[in-house]
Structure 1
Amino acid sequence: MKILMAMMQHETNTFSTVPTPLARFCRGSSTGLPAEGEAAVKAFKGTGSALGAYIEICEAEGLDYVLPLAAGAWPSGPVEDAAYEYMTDKICAAVTAEKPDAILLHLHGAMVTESLEDGEGPLVARVRALAPDTPIGVSLDMHTNMYPAIVENADVVAGYQTYPHVDIYETGRRTALPILAMLRGAAKPTMAWGNRPMLPHVMRQGTHDFPNKQIQELAQKMEAEGALCASFFTGFPHADIRLAGSSAVVVTDNDPEGAQRMVDELLDLAWKERRAFVYEIEPLEQSLKRAQELKADGPIVLLDHYDNAASGGSMDTMAVLKGILDAGLEDVAAFAICDPAAVETMIAAGIGNEVTVSLGGKTDMPSIGRTGEPLEVSGRVKLISDGRFRNVGPMSRGVMNAMGPTVVLDTGKVEIVVTSTQQEPNDTAAFTSLGIDPTAKKYLMLKSRIHWRAGFRDLAAETVECAGVGVCTSDYSMLNFETVRRPIFPLDEDLQPVSVTR
């Protein structure tokens, strides 16, 4: 028996001007192309990823498996059509050539391309057309913007139940095990899905917080009581596409009515508590003043949440870092500014030497009416690195990250990590791999929204959310929504919950 598995992951921020060519999906690959075959197996075997779970299950069951493609990129603007065609053609060619007994896909659920609002649905539909009777399982991110084609062409769909996403491996298992049961004739998966017209703010989607904590606990309870998979997707609001927003999918064992009942229960709870998903913004100056006044036994996290790699940010806006420098905060480590030109300048200067660079601000943001604003910063080049490190966990344990050439610039008060590509600070290894002990700092500036909690929540004494500048803004009034279905909450205040269900 043979299992075909593949990964194609991208969360698309349609307001972002960061380009998404094929090269963006090649992090850590020496070939200039996404990993495939044995290289892909080597990269993900034994890791806390969905592919890691697929591989482990296949090997434990004595099943043959093939991995034609493992492609993942940090969120950014729409995926270039050529990149999308390369990846989907690679997967579909393998389906035709290998004739697998089952197919396991790890997708994101919020990919938008230059031509398609829904990048994943058409892929799953193509795979289904090539393998009409083959069981198909799909693992998805919690930020899926669900379109019908995914559910209509898969047999099992499972989404992450934690944010930060520390259950990616577990979601792979939740996807694969019902598919194997289906192959053995031990289960007959039946699915239902639905959505609600609501765009929860990402900053209010964390599963440590009400109401998503309670919604995900309900989904887990449904699984404990017999559902094969129960998933509530918060959705990704920074995608101006028709079906952006919250949805739910439930898979049962030959009980479609029960699946629909549970879908409605999840969606009704989310809709009832929709106002708790609205984020209240504090002005940056007020946030930094409050940070200075805090007395804490441990690091104070300064969260630059408007410019985050995991939501499509350029990671080169300077408003929060400038505020920190202007306020004279000391004993700060900042992760990170993405500026490959500044990195080159500092590498040329050499370790131990003083340098003045025009830092950040290289990216214009027409979708929010802002141009890039570089900041002149002086300091000592403290460290130069190749920017490669493995996550220690709990998120994506063992997965390799590649930031490109990376420099630590020490101003005397602030140690600034400057990278050549975007990187979410969701793991302490982001600092320790560069010789910085995050537990020893008074302040940690993190360009993150929720994922920072995976690696830093337990060591943070206090958290101050800093509304800077960027296309990950939590201020919806700055975003020009033209395509998303209307009315929708909270863009439109009160409305009835008209849903799309099946």
Structure 2
Amino acid sequence: MGAFIDLAEQWGDDIVCPIAAEAMPSAPADAETYGYLSGLILEEVQKGVNRILLALHGAMITENTLDGEGTLLKRIRAIAPDIPIAVSHDFHANVTVSTVTNCTVLTGYKTYPHTDLYETGYKAACILYDAMQGQCNPVMAWRKLPLMSHTLKQGTDDEPFKLLIRRCREAERETGVLNVSLFGGFPLADSPYTGSSVVVVTDNDDLLANRIATDIAEACWDSRHQQIYQSTPLSDQIQTAKKLTDGPIILLDHCDNCGSGGTQDVMTVIRAIMEAGLEDVIVAAVWDPKAVATMQAAGVNAEVALPLGGNTDMPAIQQSGHPLQVQGNVTHLTDGRFRIDGPMYHGLEVSMGPTAVLDTGNMQIIVVSRHIEPWDPGLFHSLGIDPAQKRYLLLKSRIHYRAGFADMARHTLLLDGDGVTTSDYQLLPFHHLKRPVFPLDPLCSFEPNPVPNGL
């Protein structure tokens, strides 16, 4: 959005921004909310504009469509068939034919954690602007893979995605290539479109676009076994953590990551760490508005005993919520607002809602009233806590934590607990997923043929 605004001002445009909204992943968006948000955009299109710049995630599912973004773009096209449209997508987009065929240009993030939002929007908008000036004619090629890679293996500082993204950047240096995007996909979305894909934009060169799209897609498919996470028993990882002496040591409760759709109130890992006797642990964060309200009523320095977390049942994995009885002192109470200083969403003010810190002796637990993934140290600093001074940071995160904590960590351990953001896809009841797909169907194959509609 920042890039769109900067460029529109540079071009002397009058800017219309009907809506800017974001939420943590969860259940499908209700039809009323989707209708309201998309309706605001469609109303402005109906009034008349000369170009459209859209920052869309790319994996939206609602009660009335399995393709939120593609459906929106089809509706825009019905109103304004010839309007130039630039779209930026998240690295985790499940790209659809409706999206690709109803926009002029599509670009995607090349980083996970996502630190190139501005650059991605800038590239999409500039290609569109050049096309409107007659300086290029964007054409796109798209390859969809039958591959649901594990999010834990999608970090772009790790192999195989580090090499795959490098190949995308190298391809962009070829004459006539405007943009190359590899999308890891959002595997926890239950839709026919779920999975990895490649989109290549060239200047009026279909053959070049298709060649590069095929090359990148085949390289991604060849590395599919590297994209699968191998789990380790929770007890083994905790024992490993106990033996480490130099901190900070980051412990990732990755199965309960709200940034991927987790409830953020599963207490399995926290309970296990308490029982193992780890000391000097700080937890970010448990979602429990009721517990926050109890601590607010008690006040700072009060000693409280209360059930924490476990408020949400998870029928998708056939588990019920189980609160953990805790006791300790309330050390901090805030409104939960802070500004992000790190590279991901830099400068944005966010709100955790009313927030409290409970000190149980060996563990400090940050309890929030709104879901937020802990990827920025500002979360701790807003509570007067220096995370670099703690021995263990227990974060309900997967990869995004690296944006703010990778340089701080001496060690990082993945803790396999419970939660709907599990990497064990066998636990998840997919109803709409197109099969066969790897790794659910290990013997499935990939034929890198162009998708329908001439792409």
TM-score range, shorter chain: over 0.9
Q: Determine the C-alpha separation between the residues in 2 that align with 1:303 and 1:286.
A: 14
Q: Determine the C-alpha separation between the residues in 2 that align with 1:62 and 1:413.
A: 57
Partner of 1:257: 207
Partner of 2:12: 62
Residue 78 (structure 1) aligned with residue 28 (structure 2): yes
Deviation at 1:60? Answer: 2.3
Q: TM-score, normalised by structure 1?
A: 0.88
Q: Which residues in structure 2 correspond to 1:29-428 (within 5 Å)?
A: 51-97=1-47, 99-226=48-175, 227-296=177-246, 298-428=247-377
Alignment partner of 2:427 out of 474, 478, 493: 478
Q: Determine the C-alpha separation between the residues in 2 that align with 1:217 and 1:281.
A: 28
- Letter of the 1:372 partner, please give it: G
Q: Determine the C-alpha separation between the residues in 2 that align with 1:65 and 1:115.
A: 30
Deviation at 1:314? Answer: 0.6
- Counterpart of 1:313 in 2: which secondary structure? coil
Q: Determine the C-alpha separation between the residues in 2 that align with 1:285 and 1:148.
A: 44
Deviation at 1:215? Answer: 0.9
**What is the CA deviation profile of residues 137-196 of structure 1, one whole-angstrom value per residue up to 9, with x for unaligned ones?**
000001111110000000010000000001111111111110111121111111111111
Partner of 1:10: none
- Letter of the 2:241 partner, please give it: A
- Counterpart of 1:448 in 2: which secondary structure? coil
Q: Please say if residues 248 and 263 of structure 1, whose CA atoms lie closer than 8 Å, have aligned partners that are also in contact.
A: yes
- Letter of the 1:75 partner, please give it: P
**What is the CA deviation profile of residues 44-90 of structure 1, one whole-angstrom value per residue up to 9, with x for unaligned ones?**
xxxxxxx0111111222322211111011111110000000000100
What is the root-mean-square deviation of aligned Cα atoms in Å?
A: 1.0
- Letter of the 2:33 partner, please give it: A
Q: Determine the C-alpha separation between the residues in 2 that align with 1:129 and 1:215.
A: 36
Identity of aligned residues (%): 47
Q: Determine the C-alpha separation between the residues in 1 that align with 2:279 and 2:253.
A: 17
**What is the CA deviation profile of residues 437-466 of structure 1, one whole-angstrom value per residue up to 9, with x for unaligned ones?**
011000000000100011100100000100
Q: Determine the C-alpha separation between the residues in 1 that align with 2:356 and 2:374.
A: 15
Q: Determine the C-alpha separation between the residues in 1 that align with 2:22 and 2:356.
A: 24
**What is the CA deviation profile of residues 343-380 of structure 1, one whole-angstrom value per residue up to 9, with x for unaligned ones?**
10010000011001100000000111100000001111
Partner of 2:382: 433
Partner of 1:48: none
Q: Determine the C-alpha separation between the residues in 1 that align with 2:84 and 2:432.
A: 34
Q: Determine the C-alpha separation between the residues in 2 that align with 1:353 and 1:421.
A: 23
**What is the CA deviation profile of residues 419-450 of structure 1, one whole-angstrom value per residue up to 9, with x for unaligned ones?**
01110111111111111101100000000010
Deviation at 1:496? Answer: 1.6
- Letter of the 1:399 partner, please give it: L
- Counterpart of 1:191 in 2: which secondary structure? strand
Q: TM-score, normalised by structure 2?
A: 0.97
**What is the CA deviation profile of residues 309-352 of structure 1, one whole-angstrom value per residue up to 9, with x for unaligned ones?**
11000100001111111111111111000000101001000001
Q: Determine the C-alpha separation between the residues in 1 that align with 2:379 and 2:397.
A: 13
Q: Please say if residues 197 and 498 of structure 1, whose CA atoms lie closer than 8 Å, have aligned partners that are also in contact.
A: no
Deviation at 1:483? Answer: 2.1
- Letter of the 1:251 partner, please give it: V
Q: Please say if residues 354 and 380 of structure 1, whose CA atoms lie closer than 8 Å, have aligned partners that are also in contact.
A: yes
Deviates more, 1:342-351 or 1:237-246: 237-246
- Letter of the 1:103 partner, please give it: I
Q: Determine the C-alpha separation between the residues in 1 that align with 2:189 and 2:398.
A: 17
**What is the CA deviation profile of residues 450-496 of structure 1, one whole-angstrom value per residue up to 9, with x for unaligned ones?**
00011100100000100111000011121122321111111011222
Q: Determine the C-alpha separation between the residues in 1 that align with 2:17 and 2:241.
A: 48
- Counterpart of 1:94 in 2: which secondary structure? helix
Q: Determine the C-alpha separation between the residues in 1 that align with 2:310 and 2:381.
A: 26
Partner of 1:21: none
Deviation at 1:259? Answer: 0.9
Partner of 1:36: none
Q: Determine the C-alpha separation between the residues in 1 that align with 2:105 and 2:320.
A: 44
Give unpaired runs (5+ residues) of structure 2. none
Deviates more, 1:60-69 or 1:369-378: 60-69
Q: Please say if residues 338 and 360 of structure 1, whose CA atoms lie closer than 8 Å, have aligned partners that are also in contact.
A: yes
